[in-house]
Structure 1
Amino acid sequence: MGFLQLLKSQFLCHLVICYVFLVSGLIINLLQLCTLPLWLVSKQLARRVNIRLAYCIASQLVAALEWWSGTECTLYTDPENYPLYGNEKAIVVLNHSFEIDFLCGWTFCERFGVLGSSKVLAKKELAYVPIIGWMWYFLEIVFCKRKWEEDRRTVAQSLQNLHDYPENYWFLLFCEGTRLTPKKHQVSMQVAESKGLPKLKYHLLPRTKGFWITVQNLRGTVAAVYDSTLNFRNNQVPTLLGILNGKKYHADLYVRRIPLELIPEDEAECAAWLHHLYQEKDSFQEHYAKTSRFPGPTVSPPRRPWTLINWLFWCCLLLYPLGLLLTQLISSGSVLTIVVSVALCTAASLGVRWMIGQTEINKGSSYGNKEAPLNNN
């Protein structure tokens, strides 16, 4: 282990990263709150401001992946479609198999300049989580309760509100609804058998209603669906904790651009189309398992410096006063003050590690774990 790698694995470094992210995130949330009056004056200006503020939060996580961890990303795609990425609104359909697949999706957004405006269909509970959840609230992220009768109306309305969004965005969808685990896969394939659907080896059955309502309400706004299939070289199993420890991974992402007009408008036909799409995604994963690559030509979109610049800015802004405070604490000679300060810092770090732990696949949502027949629509 080299010196730099050893340094990245140290608790003190993790403490600094957590401190910068938490404090800067709360400051940005406060700034977002201050934009509320602006919405009454100019909704589009308020949106543009919140895109930049959201970028300041999300890009720190991307910086951890790209610069701290040094993780590389190779894109497999049609060269003719490559110039369109980042220059149009799109729905991105991602497989949900890894603990950091959402972060790889954000990295994909960052490489093409749409990270700040990227959208996602998220659980309603996340709207109340400080930093990320509050950031999403001001970004007009679409939240759902996973109760179709309620979501059908509220999700549709939230999606229609995006028709006049002033900048290009990608709407990230995990159609499987939850991360892949052996237990969830077993239950999902039981559902497939009961419905006469082809079984999938590398995915759960997609939940078609969310996809259909998204496509229907964004027609005329988004230009295409980007079918995106993610895997990692050498059977790597990436984790957020690994990223924090500076472990380097290599992601391969296979992206196909599908014009939205090719997707059926009828709900049943759209569901059949999505099931067929996931059968194709399964074949791509099978190809990757056998050859260690996806089909087609490759390109490596360059890292943009802005994520690193943003992170360094917040480090300089927040670490200087922290250094002054620590100096004063040490010079004060008060053992109690020092102990309390160390305890608070440790508690903050453990809190962040706990949140990271919740992203682990074996601690993920129980959604899709039930033995009873599931409604996979």
Structure 2
Amino acid sequence: MQVAESKGLPKLKYHLLPRTKGFTTTLQCLKGTVKAVYDVTLNFKDKQNPTLLGIVNGKKYMADLSVRRFPVEEIPDDEKECADWLHKLYQEKDALQEQYEKEGCFPGPIIKPKRRLWTLLNFLFWATLLLSPLINFAWDVLVSGSPLLIIGFMIFLIVASVAVRRLIGVTEVKKTGSSYGNVEAKKEN
């Protein structure tokens, strides 16, 4: 906030100030190799924060994605003009986020991609290829008829499942995010 004030830029509520020097340098290096720059904003419905453990447990997360395309030719070449363009873009992103917070959706047409059979076939192919040795081993254990071997294998599967979930749970961050721009969070600290 202090940097925005010192540079005479509007304060952003939901975003950090963009790193204009890095952006302009990167853009100059990419001219001729890329055709466009994409601005992507992702929000999850009901302010849910997806976690790896939630995904492993099969929890569904619904998300909205706003994508805008800017042809490289339309972005100014001059460093100062490019920096101004980027600051304006971030002001628009902040306004877009504000609108999403109020209405629960992005403005404009809603596009829902169709489910594709290819995605399912691709998943099934790789799952079959990678899991076939484990499935073959499990089948061999079951047809062996040895109760001790079957019980041992079942215990191994349960312990492995619990261990993976515990390891994923340990990596989760409990803090809800940055307190950047949040006056109340700064007062609590």
Query: What is the TM-score with the length of structure 2 in the denominator?
Result: 0.72
Q: What amino acid sits opposite 1:362 in the alignment?
A: K
Of residues 18, 23, 34 in structure 2, which corresponds to 1:222? 34
The answer (yes or no) to whether the contact 2:53–2:169 under 8 Å persists in 1 is no
Tell me which residue corresponds to 2:126. 314
Tell me by how many angstroms 1:261 deviates: 1.3
Tell me which residue corresponds to 1:192. 4
Of residues 254, 268, 277 in structure 1, which corresponds to 2:66? 254
Of residues 237, 259, 276 in structure 1, which corresponds to 2:88? 276
Matched, 1:349 2:161: no
Moved over 6 A (4+): none
1:234-270 CA-partner distances (Å, limit 9, x unpaired): 3333333323222223222222222211212233332
Tell me which residue corresponds to 2:44. 232
Tell me by how many angstroms 1:325 deviates: 1.9
Matched, 1:290 2:105: no
Tell me by how many angstroms 1:306 deviates: 2.9
1:24-73 CA-partner distances (Å, limit 9, x unpaired): xxxxxxxxxxxxxxxxxxxxxxxxxxxxxxxxxxxxxxxxxxxxxxxxxx
Of residues 77, 80, 93 in structure 2, which corresponds to 1:265? 77
1:197-252 CA-partner distances (Å, limit 9, x unpaired): 21111112222233223321221222222222222333333333323222223222
Query: In structure 1, how many angstroms separate the alpha carbons of the residues matched to 2:46 and 2:154?
Result: 45
Larger Rg: 2
Tell me by how many angstroms 1:346 deviates: 4.5
* Aligned-partner SS, 1:257: strand
The answer (yes or no) to whether the contact 2:38–2:70 under 8 Å persists in 1 is yes
Tell me by how many angstroms 1:342 deviates: 4.6
Matched, 1:362 2:175: yes
Tell me by how many angstroms 1:297 deviates: 2.0
Query: In structure 2, how many angstroms separate the alpha carbons of the residues matched to 1:195 and 1:361?
Result: 34
Q: How well do the aligned residues superpose, as a CA RMSD in angstroms? A: 3.4
Q: Percent identity?
A: 58
| Structure 2 unaligned spans of 5+ | 181-189
After superposition, the Cα gap between the structure-2 partners of 1:237 and 1:334, relative to the gap in structure 1 and judged at 3 Å, is closer
Matched, 1:209 2:21: yes
Query: In structure 2, how many angstroms separate the alpha carbons of the residues matched to 1:210 and 1:347?
Result: 44
Q: What amino acid sits opposite 1:206 in the alignment?
A: P
